[in-house]
Amino acid sequence: MTTLRSTALEAAMSQPHTVPPFAVISGAQVQHALRDREQQIVDLIEATYRLHAAGESVNPPSYFLRFPDRPSSRIIALPASIGGQVRVDGLKWISSFPGNVEAGIPRASAVLILNDHDTGYPFACLESSIISATRTAASAALAADHLTRSRQRPTRIGFFGTGLIARYIHTFLTAVGWTFEETGVHDLSPDSAAGFRGYLRHTPAAGHITVHDSPEELIRSSDLVVLATVAGEPHISDLAWFGHNPLVLHVSLRDLAPEIILASANIVDDVDHCLKAGTSPHLAEQLTGNRGFLTGTLADVMSARVTPPTGRPLVFSPFGLGVLDLAVGKYVYDETARSGRLHVIEDFFHDLRRHG
């Protein structure tokens, strides 16, 4: 089996390595490349999860930069590498400063660096808050589809947390065919809840919209619950709220008390990544000393190795893998290059002669 793989490798090694041009892609360009491509991005995220499950990726633990003088804030580094046909390495550098919301600017900001597979040279820097929100929403929509194939598809959705991520998740769900008879909204900020309600009123698939005064009202009245808060520790602890066995997209990862996790069927995107950094599943592991409460991964469900049970709440907790950012970022880069709108920084890499 000196085969095609070794032949392709020899051919690649015989090609001279050159320094790639370096481009900067703005948020406006990112948004333009992704606009109205929701189904394509969901398909891309599914393909990336399958590559990751097949061992065709490298996704080390994220590194959290925390600040003693700003304990609620953090900046996270997510290095990753994708093989297959994508063949790109890189790093997402994303900050979360909750205090920004009070100042009227988004909580999160990010850049994504793409590195050339053969030379290691960075070849692009992309604004990445949109990429991050897009891959999060596409992952949620993909999970909602696969996790409801063995149960009745929800028609009542509730959003706890009404920021950018909630809007992107709703956009992706409706773009890939979801419609809702009822949409519930709850946020600790009445202004944020009202703003999200205003957004929903201009969408065709929201159905009847209700702003709930309490998380209990929201959860009890929803068959699909989206948790998209900035909570740093569990604040939902009453299992009775989940007595109707909803599907919970636990995007913010730290909302649910470990007792709720232990009473539910649990699907994660990556076991080792999700059970770290004080997430609700991590707290459940610390409480029990094992990982027996996990039902499987989303890749297990997609490949039919796992069928989630229907007699319990079903919780999807996605840590958010760097390989997903890379896949979406490379898609954006390719689309921008194809359109002829790539903004290349001339002479970004300058002193390239080894001995001058």
Question: What would the pLDDT profile of 52-81 be if each residue is shown by its tens digit?
Answer: 999 999 999 999 999 999 998 999 999 999
Q: What's the whole-number mean pLDDT along residues 303-325? A: 95
Matching residue, tokens 């550098």:
93
pLDDT of residue 2: 36
- Rounded to the nearest integer, the mean pLDDT of the chain is 93
Distances (CA, A) of 98 to 95, 108, 133, 224, 232: 10, 8, 16, 26, 11
pLDDT of residue 9: 42
What is the C-alpha separation between 6 and 273, in angstroms, rounded? 32
Domains of the chain: 20-131+322-345 (3.30.1780.10), 138-317 (3.40.50.720)
Q: Does the pLDDT value for residue 343 go beyond 60?
A: yes
Question: What would the pLDDT profile of 117-156 be if each residue is shown by its tens digit?
Answer: 999 999 999 999 999 999 999 999 999 999 999 888 999 9
pTM over 0.75: yes
Buried b or exposed e, range 87-108, using 16+ CB within 10 angstroms = ebbbbbbbbbbeeeeeeeeebb
Per-residue confidence band for 355, with pLDDT thresholds at 50, 70 and 90: confident
Cβ–Cβ < 8 Å for 162, 198: no
Cβ–Cβ < 8 Å for 48, 350: no
Question: What would the pLDDT profile of 31-55 be if each residue is shown by its tens digit?
Answer: 999 999 999 999 999 999 999 999 9
> Phi and psi (nearest 5°) for 327?
-65, -45
Distances (CA, A) of 21 to 33, 114, 350, 354: 20, 12, 11, 19
Q: For the purposes of burial, counting CB atoms within 10 Å of the CB of 84, is it exposed (0-12), middle (13-18) or buried (19 or more)?
A: middle
Length of the chain: 356
Q: For the purposes of burial, counting CB atoms within 10 Å of the CB of 198, is it exposed (0-12), middle (13-18) or buried (19 or more)?
A: exposed
Question: What would the pLDDT profile of 195-239 be if each residue is shown by its tens digit?
Answer: 999 999 999 888 999 999 999 999 999 999 999 998 989 999 999
Cβ–Cβ < 8 Å for 212, 152: no
pLDDT of residue 14: 52
Cβ–Cβ < 8 Å for 89, 103: no
Give residue 253's Cα distance to chain centre.
11
pLDDT of residue 204: 86
Q: Does the pLDDT value for residue 8 go beyond 60?
A: no
Per-residue confidence band for 98, with pLDDT thresholds at 50, 70 and 90: confident
Q: What's the whole-number mean pLDDT along residues 80-99? A: 94
pLDDT of residue 13: 47
Q: Does the pLDDT value for residue 3 go beyond 60?
A: no
Q: Which DSSP state fits 87?
A: -
**In the chain, what percentage of residues exceed pLDDT 90?**
85
pLDDT of residue 15: 64
Q: What's the whole-number mean pLDDT along residues 242-249? A: 98
Alpha helices in 118-179 (DSSP H): 129-147, 164-175
Checking DSSP bridges between strand 122-127 and strand 22-25, what pairing results, if any?
A: parallel
Contacts for 185 with CB less than 8 Å, ≥ 6 apart: 158, 159, 162, 193, 196, 197, 200, 209, 210, 211, 212, 218
Dihedral sign, Cα of residue 249, residue 255, residue 258, residue 259: negative
What is the C-alpha separation between 110 and 108, in angstroms, rounded? 7
Of the chain, the end-to-end C-alpha distance in Å amounts to 44
For residue 77, what are its two tokens?
Answer: 């580094």
Cβ–Cβ < 8 Å for 127, 111: yes
Greatest CA separation for the chain: 71
Q: What's the whole-number mean pLDDT along residues 235-257? A: 98
